[in-house]
Structure 1
């Protein structure tokens, strides 16, 4: 069989098994097994055992369950709910007023979570009831939350950056630094859009609360201190070189436990639930990573990555054209797979082509994260849409419609980092 026939067979098997309801991790392993058994001389069982053990025993990957656990602790204690009280007095004078709490809250929580779904769910539980009570339209309130929730992937510490760093063998600390300015840029674009929307629809924006003095605003801001301290501890330990990403994740878990205990919101029940919730989520991710690693190995033995890279190279695409094709490819793929699966499943195939085109791997990592963010709000498998559907009871089609403007803002962000690559590379270059 030629490469095209093999590719069609494996992709067909992948979607057939996924459609049957089998877990993604097991689906990837099953497709890899089929590929090695049919098109490779190496025993599939031996390769599977070695690959899964190797992917599961990576020291760098240890940061992943720790960051997930930290997010679970924040999700279940008073630390997250205090953020709204600290933020709301400062946004009353902005066009759009309390709508900006979605963007600012997601930006802050993203810096201590690393998960898009956790960021969206946590901030949504705080802001949506309050915004609805005050009369803000559901469409802009929910749409802005869906878009801003994706910042959990871009603003460090980011789970998907860790996965990409391991897959591409690049510095996770540099990836974290590279995500700071693009994350702030995207948050600024979201807030700017909310301001423009409010100016164009003044009748839909409820009146401002009673004005507060500067002293009163500062007094309410005391509720932000615990989260700001946690951000400083996690990111400061990485950026100053005191700790690696894995060690900083441990600092984050310890800090979250200490702060929630000092606030009196940490109980045995919340500790147990956060630990079990983090364990369940990491086990799912670890299974996906193991299956994708085996599939990547199988494709390597079959020769598909090399042949695909040669084929794309033969097209003589410019770097801009290559990135445009990859953007469309990942957005379409994101309609069927979650972000982590997209990254680990395709890196073995895509990276040789990207390197051949002379694209910096740190910059490309941020590009991938931005494109995966777009996939978080595209049906039918947009994780943020699933989270919001569970929270609001709205149809996926309605949710996708109200988040469409934020999708295009992400496209604009990708364009800006291409035109001005220093937005991504400036901070990592200082390390």
Structure 2
């Protein structure tokens, strides 16, 4: 059987298993077993056992459940309300006024959550009723949440960057640092768009009380101190080099528990709920990674990645043409799968092509996360759109139309990091230099 036919067959089997409702992890294992049993002579059982154990027995992977637990703890605290009350007084003079609270709030919460859905849901629960009550345009409220919620995938500590780092054996610390500037760039893009839209539609932006003095604003900003300390403790310890990502995750959990206790939201019930929520999510991701690791090995035995890389190499695609094709591929795939599944499903086949094209793997990690962000709000089936539909009760097409401008801004971000790769590589190079 030719390589192309074998590849198509395995892809059809994978989508058939996924469409049947089988777990992603078991679908990956199933496809790997089909490839190994029918198209190689390798001992499938032994290879599966050693591969799954090797994928699970990774110190870098220990950061994953800790960061997820940190997000679960904060999700059950009063962090979001404190974010709103601390940020709102500073936004009243900006074009767009309190709609910027969605963007800044999501950016800050992304830095302590690491989850796109958790970021959109947490900030949305707090801001949607408040902004609706004040008379802000509902479509822009939803749009800012849809776009800014995706920052949870990019701004460190990002769960998907940990998964990518484990799958590619790249430095998670360098990936975290590489995501900082692109994350800030996206926040600037989103705020710039809201500002321009507000100047063009002044009647749709209600007036806000703006007579608070500087000292009153500074006093209200005291609510931001806990989350700033948390971000500084997690990201600062990695950047300075005094802690690995796993150590920093442990620091983050300790600070999150302390903040929850100080705010009065830490009880035995919330502690157990947060721990169990983190356990369920971590086990799901660990199973997906184990299944993906076996599929990667199985693909290696069949020779598909090498032969595909040689075939695509024979097409003479430039790196830019390859990235354009991959962008379309990832956006389409991301419409049907969550971001983590997209990464682990494709990394075995894609990486040989990327390495052959001479593309830096740290840069490619940030690129793939931005593209996966796009897929999370791709009309009409992006995952974040369903989160916001549940929060607002609006039709999914209405939510998709609201998110469309922010999807286009993410496309612009991809263009920017391709045209100016230093946006991604500058901070990791400084980390290496230090």
Tell me whether the two structures share a fold, i.e. TM-score over 0.5. Answer: yes
SS at match of 2:98: helix
RMSD: 1.2
Give the Cα–Cα distance (whole angstroms) in 1 for the partners of residues 394 and 28 of structure 2.
31
Q: Is the 8 A contact 1:337 1:381 kept in 2?
A: no
Match of 1:422 in 2: 422
Match of 1:22 in 2: 22
Q: CA deviation at 1:337?
A: 1.5
Q: Is the 8 A contact 2:335 2:383 kept in 1?
A: no
Match of 1:228 in 2: 228
SS at match of 2:26: helix
Give the Cα–Cα distance (whole angstroms) in 1 for the partners of residues 412 and 108 of structure 2.
22
Which range moved further: 172-181 or 350-359?
350-359
Match of 1:332 in 2: 332
SS at match of 1:426: helix
Match of 1:124 in 2: 124
Match of 2:394 in 1: 394
Match of 1:254 in 2: 254
Q: CA deviation at 1:380?
A: 6.1
Match of 1:93 in 2: 93
Match of 2:47 in 1: 47
**Structure 2 vs 1, CA of residues 372 and 253 (structure 1 numbering), >3 Å: closer, same or farther?**
same
Q: CA deviation at 1:50?
A: 1.5
Q: CA deviation at 1:68?
A: 0.4
Match of 2:62 in 1: 62
Number of matched residues? 431
- Superposed CA deviations along residues 60-116 of structure 1, whole A, max 9, x for unmatched, are 011011000000100001123211100000001011111101110011011111111
Match of 1:276 in 2: 276
| TM-score, normalisation: structure 1 | 0.98
Give the Cα–Cα distance (whole angstroms) in 1 for the partners of residues 393 and 293 of structure 2.
36
Q: Is the 8 A contact 2:77 2:263 kept in 1?
A: no
Q: Is the 8 A contact 1:18 1:24 kept in 2?
A: yes
Match of 1:143 in 2: 143
Mapped pair 1:373 → 2:393: no
Match of 1:213 in 2: 213
Runs of 4+ displaced beyond 4 Å: none
SS at match of 1:387: helix
| TM-score, normalisation: structure 2 | 0.97
**Structure 2 vs 1, CA of residues 380 and 51 (structure 1 numbering), >3 Å: closer, same or farther?**
farther
Give the Cα–Cα distance (whole angstroms) in 1 for the partners of residues 363 and 288 of structure 2.
25
Structure 2 segments unaligned to the other structure (5+ residues): none
Question: In the TM superposition, what are the counterparts of 1:310-349 in structure 2 within 5 Å?
Answer: 310-349=310-349
Q: CA deviation at 1:4?
A: 1.5
Give the Cα–Cα distance (whole angstroms) in 2 for the partners of residues 199 and 56 of structure 1.
52
Match of 1:204 in 2: 204
Give the Cα–Cα distance (whole angstroms) in 2 for the partners of residues 17 and 105 of structure 1.
39
Give the Cα–Cα distance (whole angstroms) in 1 for the partners of residues 278 and 220 of structure 2.
31
**Structure 2 vs 1, CA of residues 393 and 43 (structure 1 numbering), >3 Å: closer, same or farther?**
farther
Q: Is the 8 A contact 1:160 1:340 kept in 2?
A: yes
Give the Cα–Cα distance (whole angstroms) in 2 for the partners of residues 170 and 147 of structure 1.
28
Give the Cα–Cα distance (whole angstroms) in 1 for the partners of residues 215 and 13 of structure 2.
63
